[in-house]
Structure 1
Amino acid sequence: MNYLNSTNVAAIPVIYLVVFLAFTCVCKGDEISGSSFIFGDSLVDAGNNNYLSSLSKADIKPNGIDFKLSNGNPTGRYTNGRTIADIVGEELGQPTYAIPFLSPNATGKAILNGVNYASGGGGILNETGRIFVNRLSMDIQVDYFNITRKQLDGLIGSSKAREFLMKKAIFSVTVGSNDFLNNYLLPLLSIGERLSESPEALINHLISNLRNQLTRLYKLDARKFVVANVGPLGCIPYQKTINQLNAEQCVELPNKLAIQYNGRLKDLLTELNENLPGSHFLLANVYDLVSDLIVNYAKYGFKTASAACCGNGGQFSGIIPCGPQSTMCRERSKHVFWDPYHPSEAANLIVAKQLIDGNTKIISPVNLRQLRDL
């Protein structure tokens, strides 16, 4: 879930902050520690869009204000601190955050700790996010992993690289939101598309493409996958604001589409588990997790699940994205949403910990800690 920040694209100098200067492989003898290979959109982008001429960027303040490794400077993450993928890696004992593929430091032994290919604005379909000009679609992200795959052969040999990927690496896929928000549901620009393609046809198209993308990764020796379903898109501050809803309401159509897609995604992962020998495809039920956070926010210690902490415009600060001129809340840990589209680090922390140790209603057929140890 991403944005076009018309107030700062041209006026603010691009900050290419590289915070991964000390990435080295943590190894004991011939043993390589676990790692994450991360695919998806702005929910897990760790800075790839910093290196693209894109209108979807998070390399401006106050993004990253609570990211300790950068001393509060923006890194390209679309939140105030860590993403869900960052937190999962930490909790599972991975030595460093997965390095953005487009970073100049994504070379040599650094890639043995994992690589992040995610891109703000990216989607399952190549045309998704075209309003941002440049972004990495899932097809391109898998192409880039193919480059990494060859680099791993050169680093540790083909046999050891294959064993490493099959046993030590977790492949995280968080994609699909933009295929609705910044494609099919895009105000004005996508009216013709909605008239010519039914929701059922769109979702068939998405599932077919994702099947091919996940199968390509499997053929490149990926075996342990966690695939997130699409969250409650109609409940984000942007949707509530532009549709002039009250705090308790959500927009029906985006949520209906997400639920429909999520049902098909569940069937797809069951199919892949059955047909790809040795594979482990986990479904992360982000929709229910985030819905629970929104409905029961007070139970989790939040003060609001409607208003963005950083943004401007409308009742929920949900129109103008987070940037230097934005209004920012005082208690960032008390907001479920950091900006009009993305969760705060506090919300990411709750979701990540549920995925790591949660039951089968949250993540199935096993949780992430169990997947790591398989």
Structure 2
Amino acid sequence: MLAMTIKCHNTLALLIFIISLSFYENDVAKGDNLGASFIFGDSLVDAGNNNYLSTLSKANSPPNGIDFKASGGNPTGRFTNGRTISDIVGEELGVPNFAPPYLAPNATGKVILNGVNYASGGAGILNATGSLFVNRLGMDIQVDYFNITRKQIDKLLGSANAREYIMNKSMFSITIGSNDFLNNYLIPLLSTGTRVSESPDAFINDMISHLRAQLTRLYEMDGRRFVVANVGPIGCIPYERSINQLKENDCDDLADNLATQYNAQLKDLLSQLNDNLHGATFVLANVYDLVSEIISNYAKYGFRTASTACCGDGGEYAGIIPCGPISTLCSDRYKHVFWDPYHPSEATNIILAKQLVDGDKTYVSPINLRQLRDL
């Protein structure tokens, strides 16, 4: 009987050891994964925050989300047919779940340790941007909300562990700036006063000054790994091509020149922050050149068109009326660079994300996002 008892204890001890070893091996396997992804920005990366706002900027109706497998093809508030670029980057870097929208009821408790999405359709760097949509979460508000999340993580992990987790296991992704031009400086009639009183130089300087303060606030809340996207070739989106009645291969010069000018200053800003904020790494995602490459050589990437929206109506490129339940919908969504008048399709987002995760300095510098994760 005693021998049997000893044998049982030995068997139990061995079982516990094997289980413990299994958990340890799993933890080691997960060691290369990103802990948390905190996402800030506009409709390019909004995962549904605007669903919870009284706003004119919403994507919570079909066919938006038609290819988003996690929802069974139902709309989630993402302004595309499937995953956003941030969703795909998170998957590539090993984040176990999509970061929930900050305003969603389930964005509480331990869920936030995988990250939170603060992005909002219509948002800009400047607080006035997107006012025509009535409500949106501008970048200042998004940073305010992260401050609340930061305190919640303190309570979950304890202040010392929380600081280590934010500094060493988290990435901060910022995709913003397009709306400051499209839905602020370039709006006919509404922006005339601003454009008369403020030169492009002054307006862009204002944007850079605000963004510097916003990024510095995130650093002061222990953010250390940052990826900041520049503004894409907004003069080439179906909306701009439609309202300006451009030829298929032409882009609006005013919008593109503003984006190019801002992007040059953003590059300088990130270089300064890398020099001046100890321990931080700011990576520039050169979305402008990457999207321009896809638009110029769309057939090489398997697309049929880089000018016409898959979902939308109005003008030659279906670029005036946003995507909604009664919109014209293309038959092959993966052959379109653009999903709607403003936003890329999931097929485009996949190309963008994979270049940023594993690409070279042509499109992501000084290091790519996998290298940023592994610092």
- Cα distance in 2, alignment partners of residues 285 and 92 from structure 1: 19
- Cα distance in 2, alignment partners of residues 323 and 311 from structure 1: 7
Q: SS at 1:119's partner residue?
A: coil
- Cα distance in 1, alignment partners of residues 160 and 52 from structure 2: 33
1:93 deviates by 0.8
- Cα distance in 2, alignment partners of residues 295 and 33 from structure 1: 33
- Cα distance in 2, alignment partners of residues 213 and 91 from structure 1: 27
- Cα distance in 2, alignment partners of residues 99 and 156 from structure 1: 19
| TM-score using structure 2 length | 0.91
Cross-structure match for 2:206: 205
- Cα distance in 1, alignment partners of residues 36 and 112 from structure 2: 9
1:205 deviates by 0.2
Cross-structure match for 2:215: 214
Partner AA of 1:347 in structure 2: T
1:246 deviates by 1.1
Cross-structure match for 1:96: 97
Q: SS at 1:336's partner residue?
A: coil
Whether contact under 8 Å (2:57, 2:122) holds in the other structure is yes
- Matches of residues 272-283 of structure 1 in structure 2 within 5 Å? 272-283=273-284
Cross-structure match for 1:362: 363
Whether contact under 8 Å (2:124, 2:176) holds in the other structure is yes
Whether contact under 8 Å (2:85, 2:349) holds in the other structure is yes
- Matches of residues 224-243 of structure 1 in structure 2 within 5 Å? 224-243=225-244
1:34 deviates by 1.4
- Cα distance in 2, alignment partners of residues 360 and 238 from structure 1: 30
1:130 deviates by 0.1
Partner AA of 2:292 in structure 1: S
1:192 deviates by 1.3
Cross-structure match for 1:249: 250
1:188 deviates by 1.5
- Matches of residues 58-97 of structure 1 in structure 2 within 5 Å? 58-97=59-98
1:28 deviates by 4.5
1:36 deviates by 0.4
1:276 deviates by 0.3
- Cα distance in 2, alignment partners of residues 295 and 247 from structure 1: 11
- Matches of residues 224-373 of structure 1 in structure 2 within 5 Å? 224-373=225-374
Cross-structure match for 1:34: 35
Cross-structure match for 2:113: 112
Partner AA of 2:311 in structure 1: C
Q: SS at 2:326's partner residue?
A: coil
Whether contact under 8 Å (2:34, 2:171) holds in the other structure is no
Cα deviation digits, residues 236-282 of structure 1 (max 9, x gap): 00000010011100000000000000000000000000000000000
Q: SS at 1:308's partner residue?
A: coil
1:49 deviates by 0.2
1:38 deviates by 0.2
Cα deviation digits, residues 289-321 of structure 1 (max 9, x gap): 000010100000000000000001111000111
Cross-structure match for 1:166: 167
Structure showing greater radius of gyration is 2
Whether contact under 8 Å (2:34, 2:93) holds in the other structure is no
1:33 deviates by 5.5
Cα deviation digits, residues 79-109 of structure 1 (max 9, x gap): 0000000000001111001110000001000
- Cα distance in 2, alignment partners of residues 73 and 206 from structure 1: 36
- Cα distance in 1, alignment partners of residues 43 and 328 from structure 2: 21
Partner AA of 1:319 in structure 2: I
| TM-score using structure 1 length | 0.92
Cross-structure match for 1:130: 131
- Cα distance in 1, alignment partners of residues 277 and 150 from structure 2: 19
Change (3 A) 1:298 1:33: closer
- Cα distance in 2, alignment partners of residues 35 and 328 from structure 1: 35
- Cα distance in 2, alignment partners of residues 304 and 83 from structure 1: 20
Higher helix share: 2
Structure 1 residue runs of 5 or longer lacking an equivalent are: 1-26
- Cα distance in 2, alignment partners of residues 300 and 33 from structure 1: 29
Structure 2 residue runs of 5 or longer lacking an equivalent are: 1-25
Cross-structure match for 1:194: 195
Q: SS at 1:171's partner residue?
A: strand
Report the identity percentage.
Answer: 71
Cα deviation digits, residues 308-341 of structure 1 (max 9, x gap): 0000111100011100010000000000000000
Structure 1 segments of 4 or more deviating over 2 A?
27-33
Change (3 A) 1:33 1:203: closer
Aligned-residue CA RMSD in angstroms? 1.3
Partner AA of 2:240 in structure 1: Q
Q: SS at 2:306's partner residue?
A: strand
Whether contact under 8 Å (2:37, 2:171) holds in the other structure is yes
Whether contact under 8 Å (2:34, 2:373) holds in the other structure is no
Q: SS at 1:173's partner residue?
A: strand
- Cα distance in 1, alignment partners of residues 284 and 113 from structure 2: 25
